């Protein structure tokens, strides 16, 4: 579904002390286990270049992630030639690097939203794999190779010849 604008969802989250917090969250897209992929038109129109942002890729990555569980967890169903232990090891290295960089106040090589949840890490890395493959390859070569095997794609070959892709800085 394509909505004319960003949309809001009421969110309830429990903190580490067991206190439930409620707030409205503005979203560019979302998906659920058996529900549709929903995206906001303005964010859809900002997708499709080599900036590292693509709401459709992000939401469909969540849909893939939901292929073997009710929640996104960064561990989608894997093809037979990818060992689950390798998947876990490679993604945990990226997760740990993102967490460490943020703890030190450093910029991250990919959107720091990846550091909020393992499922978001997978989705953001998928965005980068398809829309900023050189950046992902340089920052996390093992992950880039793993996603290449997962998607059966060589995204660096599709990168335009220009070295400057006008990417936003990630914090």
- Can you name the residues that pair with 8 across neighbouring β-strands? 26
Whether residue 94 is contained in a domain is answered as yes
Q: Is 171 a member of any domain? A: no
Does residue 165 lie within any of the structural domains? Answer: no
CA pair distance 6, 36, nearest whole angstrom = 16
Domains contained in the chain, number? 1
The pLDDT profile of the chain, 171 residues, written as one tens digit per residue, is 776 777 677 778 888 898 988 877 776 777 777 888 777 777 776 767 656 678 888 888 999 999 898 888 999 999 999 999 999 999 999 999 999 999 999 999 999 999 999 999 999 999 999 999 999 999 999 999 999 999 999 999 887 776 554 445 554
Q: Is residue 122 part of a domain?
A: yes
**106 in any annotated domain:** yes
CATH number at residue 120: 3.40.390.10
CA angle at 79 for the pair 140 and 76, rounded to the nearest 5°: 65
Please check whether residue 166 lies inside any domain of the structure. no
Is this model's pTM higher than 0.85 or not? no
Residue 151 is assigned to a structural domain of this protein = yes
CA-wise closest residue to 98 among 78, 76, 117: 117
Q: Residue 110: give the domain boundaries.
A: 2-158
Domain annotation covers residue 167: no
């Amino acid at each position: 579904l394509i909505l004319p604008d960003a949309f809001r969802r009421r969110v309830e989250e429990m903190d580490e002390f067991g206190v439930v917090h409620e707030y409205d969250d503005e979203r560019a897209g979302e998906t659920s286990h058996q529900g549709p992929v929903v995206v906001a038109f303005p964010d859809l129109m900002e997708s499709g270049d080599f900036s590292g942002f693509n709401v459709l890729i992000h939401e469909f990555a969540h849909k893939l992630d939901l292929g073997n569980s009710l929640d996104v967890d960064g561990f989608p169903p894997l093809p037979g030639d990818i060992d689950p232990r390798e998947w876990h090891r490679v993604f945990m290295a990226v997760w740990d690097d993102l967490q460490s960089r943020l703890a030190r106040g450093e910029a991250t090589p990919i959107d720091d939203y990846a550091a909020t949840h393992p499922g978001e890490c997978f989705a953001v890395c998928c965005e980068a794999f398809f829309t900023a493959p050189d950046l992902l390859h340089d920052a996390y070569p093992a992950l880039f190779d793993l996603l290449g095997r997962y998607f059966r794609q060589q995204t660096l070959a599709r990168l335009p010849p220009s070295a400057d892709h006008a990417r936003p800085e990630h914090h």
